[in-house]
Amino acid sequence: MSDSSYQRVMIIGPSSSGKSTLALKLGEQLKAPVLHLDQIAHKPNTHWERTPIEDFVAKHDTFIEQPTWVVEGNYSVCMPQRIAAADVVIWCDPSLLGCLWRYARRSFNAAPDRAGRLEGAKGEFSWKLILYTVRQYPRNKLKYQKFLADSPDTPLIHLKKFSDIKKFSL
């Protein structure tokens, strides 16, 4: 797909669905800055300790004021304003089992230059994140659908296969 009219791209989906890698690819393609929400939602060099929500939302809202950007991550606390500012939403939505497999594999391989990785993160593998993903993502899908329905003028690209996510470009 090729559409150069997209200058503000929002990418959502479960953990390990390919959001971060896709964001870097599209950022290069658009020559746009990329924001990985996990990197501003958590303090670097910690065991995924959260930053204060007010700081997170302020950084998010400042970033989306730019004329071009790619933002990947969910964080429903600031999803409505991101959808409103976006030219397009890309929803990476492959099988949850596939995402869990990719999460386990990436956690134990722990590449220090992995796209979207939290700087100096202490511990890549977390049973808590696996349980959260299994329990919460089905609920989050419903929440995302509602947010998207409330913004019917924002185009949605729904990618349901890892192969489609991998080969996608604007």
Greater confidence, 128 or 74?
A: 74
In sequence order, the β-bridge partners of residue 72 are: 11, 36
Domain ranges of the chain: 8-167
Tell me, what's the pLDDT at 7? 97
* Residue 100: φ, ψ to 5°: -65, -40
Lowest mean pLDDT among 33-37, 80-84, 100-104, 121-125: 121-125
Looking at domain 8-167, its CATH class is alpha beta
Q: Under a CB-based contact definition with an 8 Å cutoff, are residues 17 and 93 in contact? A: yes
Which residue, chain included where needed, has tokens 């869990």? 100
Query: pLDDT tens digit string along 10-45?
Result: 999 998 999 999 999 999 999 999 999 999 999 988
Tell me, what's the pLDDT at 2? 45
